[in-house]
Amino acid sequence: MSVMTKDHSGNGRARLSPEQARQMAAAISPKARQAGESVRQGAHGAMEWSRPRVIAVREWAAPQLQHAGELVRDELAPRASGLLFSAAHKVEVPRKTRRWPKLVAGMATLAAAASVAALALRRRPGTLLHLAPKPASDAGNGEAEGQPGGNGQAPGDGQAAPGDTSPDTAS
């Protein structure tokens, strides 16, 4: 039968009387005190023996730990930091870029540039004005092709238009 399931009702055991129990405790008590004092002395001796060794180990370990800390700070930490940053960039979800604001800004800039160029060309005498269609009032002056006074060429074909004094078309 197991020790845990054994019947501990006291059957088959000798019972001590209270007086016998006191006598046994009185006999054991000095030996327990003596054992406790022996343990205390042994612990004190072990402490005295180990104190200089612990100090020596601490004197050796302090510079080792300091050197290890410097290595971590100077070499390992930057590498670990770089690895963490690259991992963060790989994991990061790319943001969707919107094209329409850039497209609108580009078209507005293009329109502004075109209007400035048109104004500049309009204000310069003799540029692109001779290529513009004539107003309806000038259409019947007889200079068209096949009419008397006409030369058969349009005013932009290398000859100067009447009243045009620009240096690039005057011959």
Q: Is the pLDDT of residue 152 over 90?
A: no
Question: What is the identity of the amino acid at 73?
Answer: R
Say how far apart CA 156 and CA 134 lie, in whole Å: 13
Cα 10 to Cα 25, 62, 75, distances in angstroms = 21, 62, 72
- Per residue in 47-79, pLDDT (tens digit) is 999 999 999 999 999 999 999 999 999 999 999
State how far the Cα of 22 lies from the Cα of 33, in Å rounded to an integer: 17
- Note the pLDDT of residue 171: 43
Q: Report the chain's mean pLDDT, rounded to a whole number.
A: 77
pLDDT at 116 over 80: yes
The per-residue DSSP string of 38-75 comes to HHHHHHHHHHHHHHHHHHHHHHHHHHHHHHHHHHIIII
pLDDT, tens only, 2-39: 555 655 555 555 688 888 888 888 889 899 999 999 99
Which pLDDT value is given to residue 52?
93
